[in-house]
Amino acid sequence: MSKPDDTNLVQRSRTGDRQAFEALLIRYEKPVYNAAYRMLNNADDARDVTQTVFLKAYEHLDDFNPKFRFFSWVYRIALNEFVNCLNKRPRGEELARESETETGGPEDAMEQELRSRQIQSALMKIQPDYRGVIVLKHFLDFSYAEMANILDIPEKKVKSRLYTGRQLLKEALQHRRHT
Amino acid sequence: MAIEQKYIDLINAEIDGEISAADQALLDQAIAENAEAQALRDDLAGLCADLGSGELLSPPGGLRGPALRRMPAARLPVREQIRGITQVLGNLFSIPAIRYGLSFAAGIVITFTLLDSNHLSRQAFDDVTSLVGTMSDIDSAGAVTSNDDMLLTLNELAGTVNLSTAGPLMILDFDLTSSLPIEIVATFDDRDIWFNGFAQLESAGTTVSTATGQVTVRMQGERRQRRYAVYLHKSGQNAATVHLRFVAAGETLHEGNLHFGKK
């Protein structure tokens, strides 16, 4: 039997069907958690933010417009929560948190793991606006049009932010190699 | 040989899988003739492959349970909620004292509505920075439509200013970086436009003041990205122009117009 689509699950959740909402949560907790982790660089914060995002989504289900993808709408809520979480942190804490994940260990021998850590570390060095578009594109695979809808900015600006973000990320990675 | 910005954009579009066949042909030709463009494409493709190579992390096991427990136990269908509210209101209005009391309260509300911001917001304020967050509820204003934008690429000042509209709101969205303190003077000759609010993100230190037909924003110059929005109320749908002048140390760095509707 095929899985019910998002619109169907949202419709049922609106009438109080918690199981339907749980199905949405199961479907999207992983991408939201990953986006949160990439944006916040802290597993505890990412878990808390993911929980808050779905709680808010549940409370505001009546505001969801089925014309758009459910995940786009959820990600918009997530984006606000990322900003709130980052704003609550004392200045400079992002880098401090990031350095915690850099301590060498036997698992670092794996090249891919190391590369992944380097990228995460470089991501935390660029501004959240640029980090956000890179996460949307490369970790969540959104199109330009979907990103424009989520971020509520013109597509032209999405592209310019993404291109600049990549450039900044590349520089941050190069800077790491030289230091 | 330097790479034209157009080809840098096309390389990025190709990597994102959002390039048309015609642009692809153009890019292939440019890359065949320009080793630097080829190197940039390889470089970016490598970076993007690295970004996409990591597997998604699994969320911690205990994530879902607490989230579900914190949700309200029962979510009433909207129709039932409305029926419940209607019932409560019906019961309330059946009591004469409450009925007369509510009618009196409604009269007061109507009186204040007649003296609403249409009149009051025509007043000029010297410094309205403290009005941050006091603008109309943008969510209830309707869909936001982008109308015009301005790109600044000066040494002292770079970024974009976008003019969009949402219902009766005109939104001037500033996304700027400057090396000097900058004064931005927005003027509009349409008497049906007035200042409605100001919002800022990561821009503490930016101030705003108003006068009739004019809003002035002052931003500090610290080479940091500053993002803020000036909200204007506009009655009617006729075309309008906002003139922007960017001034540093008394000298005009740049000026231009943003248009809403037919020029």
Scanning A56-85 for CB atoms below 8 A from B yields 58-59, 61-62, 83
Q: Are A108 and A117 in contact (CB under 8 A)?
A: yes
| Average pLDDT of chain B, as a whole number | 78
| Residue B166's pLDDT band (cuts 50, 70, 90) | confident
Backbone angles phi, psi at B223, to 5 degrees: 55, 30
Q: Are B165 and B260 in contact (CB under 8 A)?
A: yes
Query: Which of A34, A62, A115 lies closest to B50 in CB terms?
Result: A115
Q: Does A176 touch chain B (CB under 8 A)?
A: no
Q: How many helices (H) and strands (E) does chain A have?
A: 9, 0
Nearest-CA distance B155 → chain A (Å): 17
Pairing of strands B193-201, B157-166: unpaired
- Condensed to tens digits (0 to 9), the pLDDT of residues A55-96 reads 889 888 888 888 888 988 999 899 889 888 888 877 655 544
How high is the pLDDT of residue A109?
47
- Condensed to tens digits (0 to 9), the pLDDT of residues B95-141 reads 777 777 877 888 888 777 665 544 444 444 455 555 554 444 555 55
How high is the pLDDT of residue B25?
93
Of B78 and A6, which is predicted with more confidence? A6
**Partner residues linked to A57 by β-bridges:** none
How high is the pLDDT of residue A178?
54
The domain made up of A1-89 has a fold known as: Rna Polymerase Sigma Factor; Chain: A (1.10.1740)
Q: From chain B, pick out residues whose CB is under 8 angstroms from the CB of A61.
A: 75
Q: Does A170 touch chain B (CB under 8 A)?
A: yes
Residue ranges of chain A assigned to CATH 1.10.10.10 = 105-179
Nearest to B129 by CA among B185, B206, B187: B206
Nearest-CA distance B63 → chain A (Å): 6
Contact B9 A163 (CB under 8 A): yes
Q: Are B254 and B157 in contact (CB under 8 A)?
A: yes
Q: Which CATH class is domain A105-179?
A: mainly alpha
How high is the pLDDT of residue B246?
93
Note the pTM of the prediction, 2 decimals: 0.53
Of B77 and A88, which is predicted with more confidence? A88
Q: CA B25, CA B17: separation in Å to the nearest integer?
A: 14
Q: Is the pLDDT of residue B50 over 60?
A: yes
The domain made up of B129-260 has a fold known as: Immunoglobulin-like (2.60.40)
How high is the pLDDT of residue B23?
92
Percent of chain A with pLDDT over 70: 84
Nearest-CA distance A13 → chain B (Å): 8
Q: Does B143 touch chain A (CB under 8 A)?
A: no
Please state the domain extents for chain B. Answer: 5-47, 129-260
How high is the pLDDT of residue B122?
45
| Residue B32's pLDDT band (cuts 50, 70, 90) | very high
**Partner residues linked to B160 by β-bridges:** B151, B175
| Residue A158's pLDDT band (cuts 50, 70, 90) | very high
